[in-house]
Each structure stands twice: as C-alpha cells, then as structure tokens.
Amino acid sequence: MSKFKSPDARHRWSVASRVLAAALGGYALASALVVLLVLLLPLERAQAVNLGMDLGFLLYVPILLWTFHTRSAARAWGWLLLWSGAAALLAWWLVKGSAA
C-alpha cells in the first residue's frame, strides 16, 4: 500500500482539500454573492457597496462552516463552484443588461 492510500493520508488530504475549499471557494462564493447583492440593492452605489462588504463577512462564516459539514471535500468543491458560477453569471448578466 502506498503512503497516499493509507486511511490516515486520505484523511489528511481530505482535510487539506476542505481547508482550500473553505478559503478559496468560500471567498469566491461570498464575493460573487456580495457583487450580486450590490447590484440588486435599491440603494445608492456607495451605500450598497458598504452594506455588501459588511454582509460579505457575515456570508463567509456560514460558508466556511458548511464546507466542513459536508460529507466529502468533492461535494463541497462542487457546490461551491456551482453556486459561485451561478452568482457570478447572474451578476454579469445584470451588469451587461444595465449597460445596454
């Protein structure tokens, strides 16, 4: 048995992957949601950005916790990428629509 297939090594790689998913994927999702929120809030741009930045910290914490609560690191990565992509795509669509 190689050293990467032992149960202990698999667990360590899983934890490392979850840490990266929480840090990178969580940041990407929180950022995409904040951009989307800023575009949708019926406030002046500066006020919406300030509120969005504040809410970004509140969004980031449950995303981090959820990443470690999922059954597998692959599931966490998949959902983070899916929701980050969906929020970013919707934000891009809103910006593109408002520019026309």
C-alpha to C-alpha distance for 28 and 39, rounded to whole angstroms: 17
Side-chain half-sphere exposure of 73, counting CA atoms within 13 A: 14
| Mean pLDDT for back-to-back runs of 10 residues, the chain (100 residues) | 73 92 95 94 91 93 94 94 96 82
pLDDT at 99 (0 to 100) = 64
Range of the domain at 92: 7-99
pLDDT at 3 (0 to 100) = 58
Number of domains in the chain: 1
**For residue 63, is it within any domain?**
yes
pLDDT at 2 (0 to 100) = 58
Q: How far is CA 39 from CA 45, 71, 90, 98, in A?
A: 8, 33, 10, 10
Helix, strand, or coil here: 2?
A: coil
pLDDT at 97 (0 to 100) = 81
pTM of the model: 0.85
**For residue 1, is it within any domain?**
no
Q: Residue 21, exposed/middle/buried by CB under 10 A (0-12, 13-18, 19+)?
A: buried
